[in-house]
Amino acid sequence: MKPEQTIVVIGGNAAGAAAAAKAKRINPNAKVILFEQSKYISTGTCELPYVLSGEIDDPLSVVFFDEKKFEYEKNVKVFTKYNVEKINVHTKSILVLSLIELKPFEFKYDKLILATGSRVKRVPQFSSELTNVSPLKSVEDVIRIKKFISEAKQKRVCVIGSGYIGLEAAEALNKLGFEVYLIEQEREPFPSTDKEIRQRVKKILDEKRINFLGSAENVKYRFNNSKVAALVIEGRQIEIDFAITCTGFSPNNSLAFQAKLDIGKYGGIKVNNRLQTSQKDIYACGDCIEIKNFVTRIDDYFPLATLAHREGHIAGENAALGNAYLQPAIKNISVKIFDHYFAQVGLSEQELQNKNIPHSTVEETVPNLVKVLKESNLVYGKILFDRSSKKILGASFLGGKEVSGYADIISTYIKNNIPATQLANTEYNYTPPLSPMINLLSVLGRKAAHSFSQGKENNDVTYINNNMDFKL
């Protein structure tokens, strides 16, 4: 039987909720308390763009637990609208402020779990006092933006940032009939991806009449009555109703800094493989930490819901005197871009180049179903692999829903150190309405094998089918 202990969790989203529930399951004798600054816990962040578009009707439908339900089902006491302002590592206590009563109080812990998540990177030109600007990160945000939508007069909106969330927000607003201006600091959209993907995404945006404005230093803003009122582009003024900031995330580490916990290269909390921080009684999980990248074997920053949930379980188990370990992770991420789907796994070519990692590439565009079916479309894939060992370092795909499965297969290959050439020897299922006779991965595997059979192991090798344009 495990001893009585007090386990405090700070943060109530994917990682925090998972950590609290797991800690209570591992040690039923523990008193587990969760503090959350906002009104909601256990929310679906990835679903928010689809709430915005109306594909999910009610914003509150992505709130999976409230305080009462969580306490009833998980036996964890939850306090929402409570902000933890300070950690005292010497007295093992936290200073908590009720945001309703504005009364501070001290709370003791035996073990503490930080699940403070991430913050949206701010736009330097925008003050916090602007009343028609919002990120798209929380249920409160999507409720606020829906109010902007209902009050819009110009039916014109600015989305700042063309990464994953920026593209999703642009699509959602386009579906609602808004004229969308998508602003990006870099020259091309989706800057974290390889050039082949960036070029294809630009074609998709043009087809859907999204006004993409790269090199954002050319874009200025006009403000009026605490609102961003217009874009100014080369002397031309474009009035807008509101702006959504989708400029990426950074770890929310203010409490960790205050407690003098070790911080990593990307601003995330440093943890060991048990998710223990530099203070042995404090654990951390989710978007506030850095974890080991399986491909590079060095610490990296992966603000992904799937990893946050896994990390929450591990931190919760270990805080409850368990013994769980986090293995190095592979980035595996996907997004819907209008009628297409993108998936990336492992490292991009841009990342490999930045890290000076020698590699070879193969790429191809093929039908995702047999050509005679009217539903058949083209899918693009690119594999990056080590020149000598043939091990896969990363891959990216753009096509239909099949790209999700491709990315998962490649993730399995990376995790098990299977060489890229074995993709040609894998058995793929085939039935005309579902899958092609010749799988894209098989084609890429044969091309990888061909590059080695030609004795080109020491050179970058790229194969492209120039006769197949990506169909929009």
CA–CA gap between residue 113 and residue 281 (Å, rounded): 9
**Residue 469: which pLDDT band, with cuts at 50, 70 and 90?**
very low
Residue percentage of the chain with pLDDT more than 70: 96
Model pLDDT for residues 84-128, shown as the tens digit of each residue: 999 999 999 999 999 999 999 999 999 999 999 999 999 989 998
Average pLDDT rounded to a whole number, residues 71-89 = 97
Model pLDDT for residues 186-231, shown as the tens digit of each residue: 999 999 999 999 999 999 999 999 999 998 877 899 999 999 999 9
CATH code of the domain occupying 133-245: 3.50.50.60
Average pLDDT rounded to a whole number, residues 366-380 = 95
- The answer to whether the 6-43+59-119+250-319 and 332-453 domains have the same CATH topology is no
**Residue 470: which pLDDT band, with cuts at 50, 70 and 90?**
very low
Q: Do 333 and 307 contact (CB within 8 A), yes or no? A: no
Pure H helices in 208-265: 254-258
Domain ranges of the chain: 6-43+59-119+250-319, 133-245, 332-453
CATH code of the domain occupying 6-43+59-119+250-319: 3.50.50.60
The residue among 284, 327, 325, 286 whose CA lies nearest residue 305 is 286
CATH superfamily of 332-453: FAD/NAD-linked reductase, C-terminal dimerisation domain (3.30.390.30)
Rg, C-alpha atoms of the chain: 24
The residue among 250, 246, 252, 13 whose CA lies nearest residue 136 is 246
Q: Check pLDDT > 90 for residue 184.
A: yes
Residue 452, pLDDT score: 80
